[in-house]
Amino acid sequence: MTTKPSSAPWADEPFHLITTPSTYLMDSHSYVHISSEMAHAHNVLIRGLNSILQQAPYVPTSTEKNYNAQDVKDLLFYVKSWTKTTSHHHWLEESFIFPEIEKFSGKPGLLDGPKNQHELFHGGIERLLAYASTTTPEEYRWEGVGGMKEIIDSFSKHLTDHLYAEIDVCLGMKALDSAGLKKTWDQAEKVAQQSGNLGLLYDIFPCVLGTADKTYEGGNPFPPFPWFIPYLVKYWFAAGNGCWRFNPCDWWGKPQPLAFIPQKL
């Protein structure tokens, strides 16, 4: 269950969040752990997308009253960071996690379904990244032909359908050996973590920290970052960047009201 910080719309809609499998499956098999970790990661992406969809309509464009170029600049940087976070998640899966699980299972093509779904929204995410990277605050539009909403609408259903469907694929891993699956997952995660670089601390880390609701469904420890990372991000890597006002949670995973939404709707 989501703990909304106020009665105003929040990042748990329009696209619904995923119920974490560990909250309803009482099974010690590692497929529950894997599908729950995946659900947490997917909910991070869904909350980020919802935050954009909820708040962008309230950021005035250059032809509107109360236009503030800095707010638009911050929105575009937030969108850019979310696209990078989303692409990074799928790149990690395709590069490190899926190949290892397929090898372990002895079933080549086991994860072809999710890989093929990636293709359905990859182009849209790239278009959104290009728009957020090259559009000036004066040129920026939310509504209408060529606006940012149109780009997001072109892929958001494919993306969220995929984020929901992949949990079912993980739940299907019950057929594999539990200990072997856990070992494969842990090793692939370790290799994936080692592929990170300092640059991620400026965009992907703040995006993940600010969209991971640690109070969700009674509490969870996702993301499993070392304790000092929120401090490092808050006081150094994210400091002075107004784009993080669009995050639905604070640096410690506590839901906060969406900054650009009127709270008395």
Kindly indicate which of the ranges 56-64, 152-160, 166-174, 200-208 contains the residues binding Fe ion, using the contact rule CB under 5 A.
166-174
Residue nearer to Fe ion on the CB measure, 98 or 142: 98
Residue nearer to Fe ion on the CB measure, 41 or 59: 41
Residue nearest to Fe ion (CB): 166
Residues that bind Fe ion (rule: CB under 5 A) add up to a total of 1
Give min distance, CB of 42 to Fe ion, in A.
6
d(C-alpha 91, C-alpha 179), whole Å: 25
Give min distance, CB of 23 to Fe ion, in A.
18
Residue nearer to Fe ion on the CB measure, 176 or 243: 176
Residue nearer to Fe ion on the CB measure, 71 or 166: 166
Kindly indicate which of the ranges 158-166, 215-223, 227-235, 257-265 contains the residues binding Fe ion, using the contact rule CB under 5 A.
158-166
What residues are paired with 255 via a beta bridge?
A: 249
- Other CB atoms within a 10 A radius of the CB of residue 96 amount to 19
Amino acid in the structure at residue 22: S
Residues 39-98 that bind Fe ion (CB under 5 A): none
d(C-alpha 161, C-alpha 188), whole Å: 25
Q: Can you say whether residue 109 is alpha, beta or left, with left for phi > 0 and alpha for psi between -120 and 50 degrees?
A: left
What is the DSSP-derived secondary structure letter of residue 10?
A: -
Binding mask 118-157 for Fe ion (x = CB under 5 A): ----------------------------------------
Is 145 exposed, middle or buried (CB count within 10 Å of its CB: 0-12, 13-18, 19+)?
Answer: exposed
Residue nearer to Fe ion on the CB measure, 117 or 247: 117
d(C-alpha 160, C-alpha 166), whole Å: 10
Kindly indicate which of the ranges 69-77, 128-136, 160-168, 235-243 contains the residues binding Fe ion, using the contact rule CB under 5 A.
160-168
Return the ∠ at Cα 235 (arms to 10 and 54), rounded to 5°: 15
Residue nearer to Fe ion on the CB measure, 166 or 213: 166
Give min distance, CB of 90 to Fe ion, in A.
7
Residue nearer to Fe ion on the CB measure, 91 or 202: 91
Give min distance, CB of 94 to Fe ion, in A.
10
Nearest alpha carbon to residue 117 among 88, 150, 94: 94
d(C-alpha 255, C-alpha 163), whole Å: 22
Q: Can you say whether residue 217 is alpha, beta or left, with left for phi > 0 and alpha for psi between -120 and 50 degrees?
A: left
Kindly indicate which of the ranges 15-23, 53-61, 163-171, 197-205 contains the residues binding Fe ion, using the contact rule CB under 5 A.
163-171
Binding site for Fe ion (CB under 5 A): 166
